Amino acid sequence: MNRLESVFGGAFVTLTILVLIACATVPLTGRKTFDLVPDSQVISLANDQYGDVLKKSQLSQDPAKVQMVQRVGQRIAIATETFLKQNNQADEIKDFKWQFSVIQEDKTVNAWAMPGGKVAVYTGLLPITQDENGLAVVLGHEIAHPIAKHGNERMSQGLIAQLGGVGLSVALSQQPAATQQLFQTAYGVGANVGFLLPYSRVQENEADRIGLVLMALAGYDPRNAVPLWQRMAAQGGARAPEFLSTHPNPQSRIENIKSLMPEAMRYYRPQ
């Protein structure tokens, strides 16, 4: 065996071991995911990034909008904690400290959620969500991403593909700028998500499925998801809203959501 073969062989063995030991399980779907990034490090990085975004943004001073987002967000958060506890996965969010912020950008149709329970909603989204039910659709979907550790999955893939498979702490110390950019790309931080990687179809379907269950548990009718996505699709025009730029075709999503509705309705208890 020559030296090159030895190097590639060693790398393959190392990657195989990592795949075997670095696994996480997605709630509800049970899918096994590749997760190289420790929750404590990711949450710490998320807190820093979230704080940085808020410092650079103008926060809404409209009490009605802020209170609505926080009210819906807290109900989804409680539903999330209840759901994971019922499924013996409460430890997955034991370090979450929920925070819901409203960023004053009327032309930005977007929302995102990060590990640790840090959530941002842009005011441009609210005319489309219209009410608490529509907002619950979006927040359920976005919160489902960190609950399913989709960002961790993408971050892990990026650490291997872009930074040679080093650990997160090593990547931060040796290549901080590249690692920060990788984090923003993986977790969809900020308003310019059109420049970020879309979630995979599998991840989006999981977020839809989990999000519908979370909003149903929170007492919001999941059937509101269909008209919400129809309104979102109608905003497309020549330039799709930021929220759609990293999401699949709206019509495909609507059909998939309809197929998921019987399951979600089993969790629905009006409040």
Task: Identify the pLDDT of residue 164.
Answer: 64
Task: Identify the pLDDT of residue 238.
Answer: 41
pLDDT tens per residue, the chain (271 residues)? 444 444 344 344 444 444 444 578 999 999 998 888 888 988 998 999 999 999 999 999 999 999 999 999 999 999 999 999 999 999 999 999 999 999 999 999 999 999 999 999 999 999 999 999 999 999 999 999 999 999 888 888 777 777 666 667 776 677 777 777 777 777 776 544 333 456 778 888 999 999 999 999 999 999 999 999 999 888 864 444 445 545 556 778 899 999 999 999 999 989 8
Task: Identify the pLDDT of residue 236.
Answer: 61
Task: Identify the pLDDT of residue 79.
Answer: 97
Distance between CA atoms of residues 206 and 202, nearest Å: 6
> Three-state SS string across 158-223, please?
HHHHCCCCCCHHHHHHHCHHHHHHHHHHHHCCCCCHHHCCCCCHHHHHHHHHHHHHHHHHCCCCHH
Alpha helices in the chain (DSSP H): 3-21, 39-56, 63-86, 126-129, 132-147, 150-161, 168-174, 176-187, 201-217, 225-234, 242-245, 250-265
Task: Identify the pLDDT of residue 4.
Answer: 43
- Which residues are known to be catalytic? 142
Task: Identify the pLDDT of residue 133.
Answer: 97
List the chain domain ranges.
21-265
Beta strand 111-114 with 99-103 is unpaired
Task: Identify the pLDDT of residue 14.
Answer: 42
Distance between CA atoms of residues 177 and 88, nearest Å: 37
Task: Identify the pLDDT of residue 263.
Answer: 97
Q: Are 215 and 79 in contact (CB under 8 A)?
A: yes
Longest dimension (CA), the chain: 69
Task: Identify the pLDDT of residue 10.
Answer: 39
